[in-house]
């Protein structure tokens, strides 16, 4: 008895049966690319724990997300059992690795610049310019008629001039007497 062609193909493991992307690889953990990405991820996490980013939580989160992606992409592509899908997810993993590399270069480049003699010279010049221009900035301000913090005698004199003298029996001008003048 002969089997129909479709059943024969399925049982032979050709077109319809799941195929592995690479021969000899049974799990995604056997892939060298996944292993390398996992080692890279752990190294970056150790670097972050040492405090390279300090309190810059946004950059730290971006780096953690970009580093966590590549092993996941490789595992997902392997699980599709389809070579074109595996290739697409491998490209996505590579893109995530490039993103994390860019973020690391940005931080290390900034740190190298801040420690360079050029940065120290620029900071010193900026400080000197700020100090030198202070008298000019103060002169440009409009002069005040009263000092900012008057001494105690001026404060008490000003407060007595503004408040009505209730001891002498005078009332403030804005209040009117409630007595009837005809009585």
Mean pLDDT of 156-164: 55
128 vs 76, higher pLDDT = 76
What are the tokens at 80? 């599709």
pLDDT, residue 67, reads: 94
Query: What's the DSSP call for residue 50?
Result: T
For residue 47, give the 3-state DSSP assignment: helix
pLDDT range class, residue 72, cuts 50, 70, 90: very high
Radius of gyration for the alpha carbons in the chain, expressed in angstroms and rounded: 39
pLDDT, residue 169, reads: 53
The answer, yes or no, to whether residue 107 has pLDDT greater than 60, is yes
For residue 66, give the 3-state DSSP assignment: helix
What tens digit of pLDDT does each residue of 47-56 get?
Answer: 888 877 778 8
What are the tokens at 25? 């690889």
pLDDT range class, residue 163, cuts 50, 70, 90: low
> What dotted CATH number matches 27-124?
1.20.1440
56 vs 154, higher pLDDT = 56
Nearest C-alpha neighbor of 52 from the set 122, 118, 105, 96: 105
C-alpha to C-alpha distance for 89 and 183, rounded to whole angstroms: 101
């Amino acid at each position: 008895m002969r089997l129909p062609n479709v059943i024969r193909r399925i049982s032979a493991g050709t077109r319809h049966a799941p195929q592995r992307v690479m021969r000899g690889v049974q799990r995604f953990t056997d892939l060298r690319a996944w292993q390398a990405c996992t080692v890279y991820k752990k190294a970056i996490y150790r670097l972050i724990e040492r405090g390279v980013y300090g309190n810059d939580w946004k950059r730290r989160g971006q780096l953690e997300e970009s580093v966590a992606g590549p092993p996941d992409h490789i595992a997902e592509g392997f699980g599709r059992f389809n070579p074109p899908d595996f290739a697409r997810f491998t490209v996505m993993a590579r893109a995530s690795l490039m993103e994390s590399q860019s973020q690391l270069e940005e931080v290390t480049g900034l740190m190298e610049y801040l420690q360079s003699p050029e940065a120290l010279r620029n900071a010193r010049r900026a400080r000197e310019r700020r100090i030198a221009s202070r008298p000019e900035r103060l002169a440009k301000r409009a002069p005040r008629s009263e000092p900012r913090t008057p001494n105690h005698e001026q404060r008490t004199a000003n407060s007595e001039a503004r408040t009505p003298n209730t001891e002498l029996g005078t009332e403030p001008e804005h209040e009117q007497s409630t007595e009837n003048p005809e009585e």
